[in-house]
Amino acid sequence: MARCSLAGYNSLVTLPMQTARVKVLFFGRLKEIVGRAEDSVELPDGAPIEFLFSRYGAAHPELTPFRASLVASRNQEFAAWSTPLHSGDEVAFLPPVSGG
């Protein structure tokens, strides 16, 4: 919960922090590192995709080197790392694909 001091009042008011439940998909090597293809997490409403990835990077440091080459999507559309997330969103982290 966030604490907020309102102008004109001498007391602090506790405000509930809005959270968002987001579905997260991992592909390729990322799936192997995290140990699953899909996850569901709760984070602050409006947090950017970058925040979400850094949370996984903290739990799985082997992910960090992939950041520079990853593409992220939100709700099956490519998205900037600064894109805000809201409840019900689906985020996918897509590593580069090679082949011929």
Is 58 within the bounds of a domain? yes
Residue bearing tokens 């694909």: 97
For residue 23, the enclosing domain spans: 19-94
Q: Which two tokens stand for residue 87?
A: 């409840």
Predicted confidence pLDDT, tens digits, the chain (100 residues): 445 545 555 556 555 679 999 999 999 999 999 999 999 999 999 999 999 999 999 999 999 999 999 999 999 999 999 999 999 999 999 998 755 5
CATH number at residue 83: 3.10.20.30
Does the predicted model carry a pTM greater than 0.85? no
The domain total for the chain is 1
Is 12 within the bounds of a domain? no
